[in-house]
Amino acid sequence: MNPFVEKIIPLILAFFTGIAFKKLKLLSKEDAPVLLRLVLTITLPALTIIAISNVVLVADMALIPFLAVVVVFIMYGISSLVGRKLKLSGPTFGSFLVGTMIMNTAYSLPFFAAAFGDEGLARASLFDIGNTFMIFTFTYYNAIKYGENSHTDKIQWNKFLRLPPLWAMLIAFAWKAAAIPLPKLAFNFFTLIGQPTVPLVMIALGLYFDPSLNNLGKALIGIFIRMGLGLGIGILLAAVFGLSGITRTVVIVNSALPIGFNTLIFANLENMDREFAATLVSISIFIALFYIPLLIWLFR
């Protein structure tokens, strides 16, 4: 069997394990945020430190978070035009717009780790930082703008600044720049803590899977914008900035990622169309289960 396929199949099986556990009532959809919170606050920061400590820093890595920001702004322009052409109601338009702007970068981390090891994980984490910055600033502002219970127009910078992966990345880069080897004890500890990241993310995705047929046509348009046009944008940006190697693959593939879970969180928080948001997220995740490994294989 192809080595790449051998690495990807366990990820797909972990996704279906989440679905099976939900069907058997061993876990529920409500458990998924707990698993992802564990990943965000504990396992991913540890894995990020290990990944960065093992990679060679190169100049084009600095471009990665910037290009994630560029992708979000382009998505905003396209989705604003298309959403108004579809004559969506305010709350549904909000879910449509926010959904296409949020890339599910947590989804890509296990695949890049499987395909490229620490090199891929470190670069994918940089893209995640740019995407997360936009989620808690410009994207969240639009959720407030189009939600039904708008209560503030203030961008919540503190949410971004409190992200553990961001601080883990800054510490790891500073340590790397100082050319100080990571102590063996620390390396073993972070490796142990970081190992559950991949299965936890994929199981959480399975728990979240909950598609609906309502507004299916409009949801598919949103998914095409996020994953289809997103792919084209990634290819264009890679060509314009002359990217190569793993950095090129990361930018292209991450630009085509499925719709992120924060779409559901913002829909609930700001009273946008929750059911439409759930449909966007669930269907795009299922498509990405096969689409993202294919893209990594094609562009690696």
CB atoms within 10 A of CB 153: 8
pLDDT per residue over 245-280, tens digit each? 999 999 999 999 999 878 887 887 778 888 888 889
d(CA 255, CA 249): 10
**256 secondary structure, DSSP code:** T
**What's the maximum distance between 2 C-alpha atoms anywhere in the chain?**
59
Which of the four pLDDT bands, split at 50, 70 and 90, describes residue 151?
A: low
d(CA 147, CA 222): 18
Write the pLDDT tens digit of every residue in 22-51: 999 999 988 988 888 888 789 888 888 887
What does residue 103 show for φ and ψ, rounded to 5 degrees?
-90, 135
The predicted-structure confidence for 188-210, as pLDDT tens digits, reads as follows 999 999 888 878 888 887 887 87
Domains of the chain: 3-55+65-299 (1.20.1530.20)
Nearest alpha-carbon partner for 230 in 202, 209, 251, 260: 251
- The pair phi, psi for residue 259, each rounded to 5°, is -75, 135
Q: In degrees rounded to 5, what are phi and psi of residue 168?
A: -60, -40
pLDDT band at residue 144, thresholds of 50, 70 and 90?
Answer: confident
Place of tokens 């990217």: 243
Question: How far apart, in whole angstroms, are the C-alpha atoms of residue 8 and residue 186?
Answer: 29
Tokens 């949103």 — which residue? 222
Q: Which of 13-17, 59-63, 79-83 has the lowest mean pLDDT?
A: 59-63
Could you tell me where the DSSP H helices lie in the chain? 3-23, 32-38, 44-54, 63-85, 90-101, 105-134, 140-146, 157-161, 164-177, 184-194, 197-208, 216-223, 230-240, 245-255, 262-269, 274-299
